A and B are shown apart, each in its own frame.
Chain A
Amino acid sequence: QSALTQPASVSGSPGQSITISCTGTSSDIGAYNYVSWYQQHPGKAPKLMIYDVSNRPSGVSNRFSGSKSGNTASLTISGLQAEDEADYYCNSYTSSSTWVFGGGTKLTVL
């Protein structure tokens, strides 16, 4: 199972919006609505930000939103803040009954 494809890095200024894409195939993202996104700060465990494509767990800011179209999922962060600077990973269920992560995207807040 190949990793989902994410851009290696994205950047934005405080207050701006950014979108991170996550491209898979018809056997993972395209087949299931089990797409989730995780935020990871250096030296810390990942934190769930979005699950089942567009659902936000309790306690996660509504500046974070998710969507999906075909084989590509997206995470949008609006009103960028300094504390959003982190690595972000997408994840999807696959037709092999396994789970696959994206390679990760480093978000830099300028």
Chain B
Amino acid sequence: EVQLVESGGGLVQPGGSLRLSCAASGFTLTDYVMSWVRQAPGKGLEWVSGISGGGGDIFYADSVKGRFTISRDISKNTVYLQMSSLRVEDTAIYYCAKRSGGSGNFDPWGQGTLVTVSS
């Protein structure tokens, strides 16, 4: 069974840093594109970042470019999102999702991890 489990969320002050993890099971990261998508409280979905199966293609939304870094550890089958210079507006539930290359299907999604940026 394909499963994604996020962790690492919590309360952080503005300007601080946090690293999120997404542990994947039931498939190999090298075969799929992995993405992070966030949802601010009561708001819609926002795509944040993606990394290709080969790891060589990485993309970011303009809102996080230069502050967030996506990476992965193949040996742990885990994807990470390193977040720095955090802002109040980064407060959201962060989901990771798997996508098949050559298709627009984010499926499945993890349960999400809540990041709260507040002083």
Q: A: which residues have CB within 8 A of B?
A: 1, 3, 32-36, 38, 40, 45-48, 51-52, 55, 57, 89, 91-93, 97-104
B106 neighbours in A (Cβ, 8 Å):
36, 38, 46, 48, 91
Q: A45-B110, A51-B105, A92-B104 are in contact. Are A102 and B44 (CB under 8 A)?
A: yes
CA–CA, A102 to B37, complex, Å?
13
Give min CB distance, A44 to chain B, whole Å. Answer: 8
Nearest chain B CB to A46 CB, angstrom units: 6
A99 to chain B, nearest CB (A): 4
Total count of chain B residues near the partner, CB < 8 A: 23
* B35 and A1 contacting across the interface, CB-CB below 8 Å: no
CA of A9 to CA of B77 in the docked complex: distance in angstroms? 39
B37 partner residues in chain A, CB cutoff 8 A: 46, 101
Question: Mind listing 27 A-B residue pairs with CB under 8 Å?
Answer: A1-B62, A3-B44, A36-B105, A40-B45, A45-B95, A45-B108, A45-B109, A46-B45, A46-B109, A47-B109, A48-B107, A48-B108, A51-B103, A51-B104, A51-B107, A52-B103, A57-B105, A89-B44, A91-B104, A92-B104, A93-B104, A97-B57, A98-B50, A98-B59, A99-B47, A99-B50, A101-B37
CA distance A99 to B95 in the complex (A): 15
B49 to chain A, nearest CB (A): 9
Q: How far is the CA of A35 from the CA of B46 in the complex (A)?
A: 15
User: Is B111 in the interface zone, CB < 8 Å from A?
Assistant: yes
CA distance A38 to B104 in the complex (A): 11
Q: Which of chain B's residues have a CB closer than 8 A to the CB of A57? A: 105, 107
Bound together, the chains give a CA A40 to CA B111 distance in angstroms of: 12
Q: Considering the chains assembled together, what is the distance between the CA atoms of A3 and B108 in angstroms? A: 22
Contact present for B107 and A89 (CB under 8 Å): no
> Which residue of chain A is the closest to B109 with respect to CB atoms?
A45
> Which chain B residues in 88-109 approach chain A with CB under 8 Å?
95, 103-109
**A2 CA to B46 CA, complexed, in Å:** 11
Task: Please tell me if the beta carbons of B61 and A104 are within 8 angstroms of each other in the complex.
Answer: no
